[in-house]
Structure 1
């Protein structure tokens, strides 16, 4: 019976919010207004709106450019760090994934403060009468989108290269092929499924992006799909006109189709990996010869431009009245931005609420996912095969869509007032959004535990729950800690699932940053982003120490 309860909770949390969303898109009026009938008028209204098609066109162009740039950069960096003798490749391999743990809004604010239309370096280049870039254009936004998603392509291709047999590359070199020939004729073709896999994933993520067009698209009046829905909601006389729900359903269908395609590509990827018992033992990296140092400099320059410089700009922005080339930054130093974090009750509440939601939501999420993973892979539960897809799906659902779905769920379901208009409702949404992250950390560790331990425990008379609680979960403790850290950081940095749920008194850091940005208060936004980065750094440092002690024990 308890296993059925866990399965039921997962179904309600993952599938439940999507059904009210579909129903809302088929109603002529929102559910909280009297009257209304079932109709397709919302979809007709959506398809006849010229702004909708402009947003679709902009989104597809943005997604294509972002995917092309990110996949190209990630693949090249993975090959350079994993297959060549480029100097500093191990250090670069760590630094290239830095944007994964940097709060996304913080990175965006850093980019805007340095490279935006009023950014410091933009103004510096313009003062030299040189042509400047336009970050508030679709290509400009795509460059930032690629900087954020390049680590995904890098990690995917690096994983495909790790442990794969290098005999084919050795044979090519023995036949007289140079490093470039070995890479283009052997390494890249072997990476083709991994490239397609991460390409579909990045394209999917680009369709749902909200922060980049909100921060950068506004000066040029450029809407992407997510900002089109966001502004239609906020500019409407009533929250969530039906066509916003219709737009959300359409995006959900497209994203789900892309997820299924990615699943097929991930399965095909295994057929393109050449492995052998020796793996990479005795492998001699491809010799880049005279290109070793120039390529190392280019990779270092990429990291500096995309991560280091924006972070410096973010820190400076948090401590000055304005960041401009007309006045030296040290002449504009102020503590007002940081003082506001202490004196403004809204900001204080946002920080405390985010920490509370991240801590409690992370703990509950990891506990639920740990039990669900054990049921899915170490039990005889009749519906165990449905649990893994349920755990994997939430991250595929765009955060903005999940937020609208929960908005309707809280209105339609009887227990709604207990979670509506308070931080507990926001915690549920953010926790559901991050179920997948906990699963991808816990499951690989569980798969490495020999099932003989389960059988030995049952042989002594232990039931399934006793075996799970006294044998498997204690062994999984380091993975549970790692999963909690990942979920905590993700909840702290996330914002798009709750942009439609936050009300006065229920603030979180991400949405508060958006609200300050819309008011033109750039300094407090930067200060909040720096707080996020400090908290993430402290939590990761403590967590790494705990994990090391646990593994040693």
Structure 2
């Protein structure tokens, strides 16, 4: 074993320990039984929570698959009126937080909203046209903001496919539709699974949209157990159950992608199918409707509310400052830890004992914010007790901004690490080797070569983590100090009281912030 292996592995495990400890404390919560809490959950909410979570997950998977795959095929392999601007416009719903879309649609389609009021005036019927506050409504709203995950990765897979297999299917007498189903879709299966898994994880982690739409899931149940039944151990135990579901999704995704590795070696690109007549305008109409319902309609409703509200709400500047401060703090911490992990991996790229702590530390991105909030609270309470017992210090870590920083760092470490790691892999090894032969030590090589060349990746990582942190609702809502609001928390407070117009300004701010990484994605992608 190399003399550097031991210290490098130890450094990786020490870096990963603060990321792993909160999840271990979740498991330890079972040592404190909560029979009264579990009796209440079993008798009142657990069955509904299980059924709602499962049904919501299935519906979202089906809807994002239909929308994402069909739009990806139209974008990658067909030509129709408006395709060029729709290629990138269909990515814009990624900037829309699910909870913002949810309250915008409640304002549009609720019984007293403009859509249902117009329907009753025209039809003379007093019956509701649609119930947006329902399981089906939640599935549709979440699918409209999550389908870009499938659209982006499946579109990239379709663009990489050669023409040989598709042409062979056509020469055997298959129609274009049958060739798509039998050839193109199986070749894109790993990408489809990756996109669907991301959408599914986001669905399981969602708190804001389902709470606004009145659908009880695991995330809302965890919140209610902690702040309604005042049982942190009970919330931790319920969070363990959700964590098992998330782990099952990750294992299933890993297993199915591993079995679905297919490749086509054709170098000839597949020509675009030029749609004509009704098919062309049908494709345009479909894409425009998805874009309209996923982005334009909610934004238009928010703008209408903001104009009706008039002036900038009192205190919103302070809230925006708090949001920027927590975002910048978490982004800085994530950048430092992610860069350290990436450099350690780059030093020993084939060391499994080094990759293990990095993989475990990065699992936080797949864990819902409610789970990480509970885990971080348990960790900081233990830290407070340890400091009080050993040093006599009384430090309120669990009721400070530190709790938010811990949870959000756990949540978004993978975003920063993966972005930095991709940039590090693009560095030419001969540059570092030449510097080493010229006598430059490790720190000098890092300062003079690695960091300057990594600047675009570091800035991208900083931007992505900053935006994701500012949009995060459940962890921020559950861990913020009293009176310390962010834009997401403010939106939750307004929507909980039905103050739609007041919620419009912070919602529009968040959408504007969310457009930054989407713009970066479009700018860095040469085919959008």
Distance 2:496 2:37 in 1: 30
Residue 278 of structure 2 is aligned to residue 273 of structure 1: no
1:74 to 68, 77, 80: 68
The match for 2:391 is: none
2:166 to 149, 152, 169: 169
Distance 2:254 2:477 in 1: 29
Q: How does 1:114-263 map to 2 (within 5 A)?
A: 114-129=108-123, 132-174=129-171, 177-217=174-214, 222-236=215-229, 238=230, 240-263=231-254
The 8 Å contact of residues 26 and 42 in structure 1, kept in 2 or not, is answered as no
- Residue 260 (structure 1) shift: 2.0
- Residue 349 (structure 1) shift: 3.3
| SS of residue in 1 equivalent to 2:478 | coil
- Residue 492 (structure 1) shift: 0.9
Distance 1:49 1:467 in 2: 62
Distance 2:7 2:145 in 1: 41
Q: What is the CA deviation profile of residues 457-512 of structure 1, one whole-angstrom value per residue up to 9, with x for unaligned ones?
A: 32233344433333222211111111111111111111111222123232222122
Task: Pick closer, same or farther for the CA change 1:441–1:312 going to 2, 3 Å.
Answer: same
Between 1:136-145 and 1:387-396, the stretch displaced more is: 387-396
The 8 Å contact of residues 144 and 294 in structure 2, kept in 1 or not, is answered as yes
Distance 1:178 1:456 in 2: 56
The match for 1:356 is: 325
Distance 2:447 2:413 in 1: 20
The match for 1:285 is: 272
Between 1:398-407 and 1:131-140, the stretch displaced more is: 131-140
The 8 Å contact of residues 355 and 492 in structure 1, kept in 2 or not, is answered as yes
Say how many residue pairs are matched. 506
| SS of residue in 2 equivalent to 1:152 | helix
The match for 1:35 is: none
Task: Pick closer, same or farther for the CA change 1:440–1:115 going to 2, 3 Å.
Answer: farther
Task: Pick closer, same or farther for the CA change 1:492–1:516 going to 2, 3 Å.
Answer: same
The match for 2:3 is: none
| SS of residue in 2 equivalent to 1:118 | coil
The 8 Å contact of residues 144 and 290 in structure 2, kept in 1 or not, is answered as no
Residue 421 of structure 2 is aligned to residue 443 of structure 1: yes
Distance 1:47 1:110 in 2: 31
2:453 to 472, 475, 488: 475
Distance 1:537 1:83 in 2: 26
1:297 to 273, 279, 285: 285
Between 1:482-491 and 1:102-111, the stretch displaced more is: 102-111
The match for 2:390 is: none
The 8 Å contact of residues 410 and 417 in structure 1, kept in 2 or not, is answered as no
Residue 95 of structure 2 is aligned to residue 101 of structure 1: yes
The match for 1:323 is: none
Q: What is the CA deviation profile of residues 6-65 of structure 1, one whole-angstrom value per residue up to 9, with x for unaligned ones?
A: 524532332111122222233147xxxxxxxxxxx4785377334111111111111111
Distance 1:104 1:19 in 2: 30
| SS of residue in 2 equivalent to 1:57 | helix
Q: Root-mean-square deviation (CA), in Å?
A: 2.8
2:381 to 391, 411, 415: 411
The match for 1:399 is: 369
Distance 2:515 2:193 in 1: 33
Residue 310 of structure 2 is aligned to residue 335 of structure 1: yes
Q: What is the CA deviation profile of residues 131-159 of structure 1, one whole-angstrom value per residue up to 9, with x for unaligned ones?
A: 61111111111111111210111112112
| SS of residue in 1 equivalent to 2:237 | helix
The 8 Å contact of residues 209 and 226 in structure 1, kept in 2 or not, is answered as yes
Between 1:41-50 and 1:392-401, the stretch displaced more is: 41-50
The 8 Å contact of residues 399 and 481 in structure 2, kept in 1 or not, is answered as yes
Distance 1:213 1:86 in 2: 36
1:452 to 407, 425, 430: 430
- Residue 252 (structure 1) shift: 0.6
The match for 1:524 is: 502
The 8 Å contact of residues 495 and 503 in structure 2, kept in 1 or not, is answered as yes
Residue 341 of structure 2 is aligned to residue 372 of structure 1: yes
Distance 2:40 2:237 in 1: 7
| SS of residue in 1 equivalent to 2:307 | coil
The 8 Å contact of residues 160 and 191 in structure 1, kept in 2 or not, is answered as yes
Task: Pick closer, same or farther for the CA change 1:442–1:288 going to 2, 3 Å.
Answer: same
TM-score (norm 1): 0.84
Between 1:408-417 and 1:293-302, the stretch displaced more is: 408-417
The 8 Å contact of residues 46 and 243 in structure 1, kept in 2 or not, is answered as no
Q: What is the CA deviation profile of residues 300-344 of structure 1, one whole-angstrom value per residue up to 9, with x for unaligned ones?
A: 111112210111001111232xxxxxxxxxxxxx425x2x2xx33
Task: Pick closer, same or farther for the CA change 1:86–1:312 going to 2, 3 Å.
Answer: same
The 8 Å contact of residues 106 and 133 in structure 2, kept in 1 or not, is answered as no
The match for 1:48 is: 42
Distance 2:90 2:399 in 1: 39
Residue 27 of structure 2 is aligned to residue 22 of structure 1: yes
Distance 1:155 1:455 in 2: 37
| SS of residue in 2 equivalent to 1:25 | helix
In structure 1, the gaps of 5 or more residues are: 30-40, 321-333, 549-553
Distance 1:377 1:64 in 2: 39
Distance 1:151 1:392 in 2: 23
2:511 to 533, 540, 546: 533
Q: How does 1:55-70 map to 2 (within 5 A)?
A: 55-70=49-64
Distance 1:78 1:457 in 2: 45
Between 1:2-11 and 1:491-500, the stretch displaced more is: 2-11
Task: Pick closer, same or farther for the CA change 1:284–1:303 going to 2, 3 Å.
Answer: same
- Residue 175 (structure 1) shift: 5.0
- Residue 353 (structure 1) shift: 1.0
